[in-house]
Amino acid sequence: MMSFLLPCPNCGPRRVDEFSYGGELQARPSADVSPSAWGHYLYGRRNAAGLQTEWWYHRLGCGRWFLAERDTVTNEAQRTYWRPTAGDPPAPLQGAKVLDWRALP
């Protein structure tokens, strides 16, 4: 079993088994894209090796969602933070999906 520490922005470093993985950060498509594009948004994953931005939920702690920049090769979390409450969401790192949803069938 693989384990690593993930620092919750509220509770500090905890074992990763206290959290639920919420997936890669990605831009949400507009409502007028095809069902195929929505399917890709909901279920498609890049699984790129290297640094990527991900959603995590602290299920056995504070019960809050946050973002983590984690290296998928070493499992080292570079930083964790709350999603900004105003303005645009943070830009995903290199491993995250950035797609033109209108280009999908």
CATH among 3.30.70.20, 3.40.50.720, 1.10.287.70, 3.30.2270.10 for 5-103: 3.30.2270.10
Average pLDDT over residues 66-75: 93
DSSP 36: H
Q: What is the pLDDT of residue 96?
A: 47
Q: What are the phi and psi torsion angles at 17 (to 5°)?
A: -70, -5
Whether the per-residue pLDDT at 75 is higher than 90: the answer is yes
Within 10 A of 89 (CB to CB), how many other CB atoms are there? 13
Tell me how far apart the alpha carbons of residues 96 and 70 are, in angstroms, rounded to a whole number. 11
Q: What is the pLDDT of residue 91?
A: 63
Query: Could you identify the residue written with the tokens 């909901």?
Result: 42
Domain boundaries of the chain, sorted by first residue: 5-103
The candidate with the shortest Cα–Cα distance to 23, out of 3, 2, 52, is 52
| pLDDT (tens digit per residue) in 19-42 | 999 988 887 888 888 888 888 888
| pLDDT (tens digit per residue) in 43-56 | 887 778 889 899 99
Q: What is the pLDDT of residue 63?
A: 96
* C-alpha 103: how far from chain center: 23
